[in-house]
Amino acid sequence: MIDLVWLIPLLPFIGFLINGLGRNVLPKPLIGTIASLAVIGSFAISLSIFLTFDAAQPQVIHLFDWINVGTLSIPFAFQIDQLSIMMLLIITGIGSLIHIYSAGYMSHDAGFGKFFAYLNLFVFFMLLLVMGSNYVIMFIGWEGVGLCSYLLIGFWYANGAYADAAKKAFIMNRIGDLGFLLGVFLIISTFGSVSFTEIFPKAAGMVSGDATLVLITILLFIGATGKSAQLPLFTWLPDAMAGPTPVSALIHAATMVTAGIYMIARSNILFALSPVTLDIIAVVGLLTAVVAAFIALTQTDIKKVLAYSTVSQLGYMFLGLGVGAFTGAFFHVLTHAFFKALLFLGAGSVIHAMSNEQDMRNMGGLRKKLPITFLTMLIGTIAIAGLPPFAGFFSKDEILAHVYEHNKLLWVIGLFGAFLTAAYMFRMMFLTFWGNFRGTEDQKHHLHESPVSMTFPLIVLAILSMVGGFMGVPHALGGHHWLNEYLSPVLAATNNILPALSLDHATEYMLMGISVGGVIISIIIAYVKYVSKGYVPKEEELQSGINKLSYNKLYLDELYTAIIQKPLDALSAFFFKVVDKSGIDGLVNGLGKVSIEASKTLRLLQTGNVGFYIFAMVIGIVAVLVYSFIII
């Protein structure tokens, strides 16, 4: 099946072409079917490769020669190994479910065909990103998903706020992309190649802490902060909720925001030899995880809670990378894809039933009206909170165990963030599904469970959220951590450099006990507050005390506006009014006016008198002779 690997990205691209060209003529059911089958076909091939691939070395499939400049040769080729296979399964598997869900969710939208064309194009670029055998192809996919996120976030562009959100995502990602691009240039300068199979063996022979490697990895990490929404470049992601909910699920769970983690995991040997960069990644990831969790505590928009939750969980993944737990970080990418896609699609089901209402203060008591949505979202919430044996428990605790061994202070802060996660996620569940209904009468009459096309993906993702963690059961609990074993060929060189987890079982049990105990206490506190006491946050309460800081997102947007946007606006105004209008325009217009006035005078010389013309010619010849004499 590996010979058919080129079909994996090609099928979604064909779906994009058919739906893009036929969006105004093809019937909606056919558009949805074509788009979904394109991704399902890619998933089937990916699954076949997963079941048959057993090579210890990466397989490079050369498609054609592409760029040859001097000694630099960049082929267009795909690399298949354990890491890319796992990403292919996530992108195409969860992407298929999101396509099926979208067929129901977007059925009444006038831009149905355009939406699915964009969705297929997004999947195509994401597949290029993970399949590329070198950094240049990865960068094409990297930029491609950025473009598609702009198109999808601003899908309802007639709404000015949504269009602004799309522009914000596009611009903030470009800031990070500059770092990535500079990192690639430095890689070319250092290794004379961009191919992974040439760079990584050379890098493995370099000394730990090499200044060039540190600079390369810092530049690559800057790229990752933009794409994976880390401090200080994370504020675009919550605003990306402006797009249709399936887009949120695709971007936040299965594709774009995990690109930064994938890129670092792919380049693991470079980072393993750069301990300074790893420390920076750990601190940035931890701060992002806790800050985003703090903001999520008071948000009232159900999608915004999930958005900040995504930022926070991405922070945990970076924390894992920073302490050298590459498998743990990637494990959390996998489990997070299951339960976050589930939670976003569940939120979409709630919004669908509530006639586009997203404020949880206007919901309540939806358990009986939306039983499948409720049960599946509850499973997703338990999974992300980290209760055993659901998926998030295994992956998050593996990261925290590595952090404990690395630095106790980081572990305490990370653990605190985990408790906050349980608090804000169950706050969301209690406000939405418990208590009395607080919406309007029209909304109450409209309440209904979503169609099968929407509930089927929820059920599949709920099952994955329950059992997905068993791919990484630690030895302390009697498992053998299949994922760690599966990824070992990709991480072999790194595993020789970074120390393996060496905690004894008693310590691991203690860490698990503290984590689970704290999560349960957080859930009980949330239950007492939002269910027993029936508390519903009021606007004036959210605008006072520490709530004000959290509710207003630490005023980070306002801070960026003050220190970046306004100075740039002032600089732009200066260049427009002074340099452009008064300087360049003044010079060009002045020259024009001089020409006009001069021609008004000179035209008076055109008298038609031949004698005058001969006199002028003689004067001219004399002037030329005098000039020549002076020059010589």
SS3 232: coil
Has residue 118 got a pLDDT over 90? yes
Distant-in-sequence, close-in-space partners of 18: CB < 8 Å, separation ≥ 6: 26, 34
Q: Which of 486, 502, 537 is the last residue of a domain?
A: 537
Q: What is the mean pLDDT of residues 113-141?
A: 96
List, as one string, the DSSP characters of 176-190: HHHHHHHHHHHHHHH
Instruction: Tell me which residue range forms the domain holding 615.
Output: 559-631
pLDDT of residue 55: 87
d(CA 183, CA 142): 14
Note the residue count of the chain. Answer: 632
Q: What is the mean pLDDT of residues 473-499?
A: 93
Query: Do 567 and 432 sit in the same domain of this protein?
Result: no
| 464 occurs within a structural domain | yes
Model confidence at 632, in pLDDT bands (50, 70, 90)?
low
d(CA 528, CA 367): 18
Q: Which of 480, 506, 537 is the last residue of a domain?
A: 537
Query: Do 331 and 474 sit in the same domain of this protein?
Result: yes
| 387 occurs within a structural domain | yes
* DSSP state, residue 80: E
Query: Do 563 and 509 sit in the same domain of this protein?
Result: no
Query: Do 510 and 584 sit in the same domain of this protein?
Result: no
Query: Do 349 and 461 sit in the same domain of this protein?
Result: yes
| 580 occurs within a structural domain | yes
11-39 b/e with 16+ CB inside 10 Å = b? bbbbbbebbeeebeebeeeebbbbbbebb
Query: Do 601 and 517 sit in the same domain of this protein?
Result: no
Has residue 71 got a pLDDT over 80? yes
Model confidence at 29, in pLDDT bands (50, 70, 90)?
very high
> What is the domain count for the chain?
2
Model confidence at 453, in pLDDT bands (50, 70, 90)?
very high
| 543 occurs within a structural domain | no
Query: Do 606 and 524 sit in the same domain of this protein?
Result: no
Query: Do 444 and 495 sit in the same domain of this protein?
Result: yes
Distant-in-sequence, close-in-space partners of 550: CB < 8 Å, separation ≥ 6: 294, 295, 297, 298
Start-to-end CA distance of the chain, whole Å, equals 82
| 36 occurs within a structural domain | yes
Q: Which of 537, 571, 603 is the last residue of a domain?
A: 537
Query: Do 587 and 503 sit in the same domain of this protein?
Result: no
SS3 608: coil
* DSSP state, residue 209: T
Give yes or no for a contact between 50 and 43, defined as CB atoms under 8 angstroms apart: no
- What is this structure's pTM? 0.90
Give yes or no for a contact between 261 and 334, defined as CB atoms under 8 angstroms apart: no
Residue listed under structure tokens 């003689």: 618
Query: Do 230 and 271 sit in the same domain of this protein?
Result: yes
Q: What is the mean pLDDT of residues 275-295?
A: 97
- Greater confidence (185 vs 611) lies with 185
d(CA 485, CA 82): 10
When the pLDDT of each residue in the chain is averaged and rounded to a whole number, the result is 93
| 416 occurs within a structural domain | yes
Query: Do 324 and 237 sit in the same domain of this protein?
Result: yes
pLDDT of residue 603: 82
Query: Do 572 and 445 sit in the same domain of this protein?
Result: no
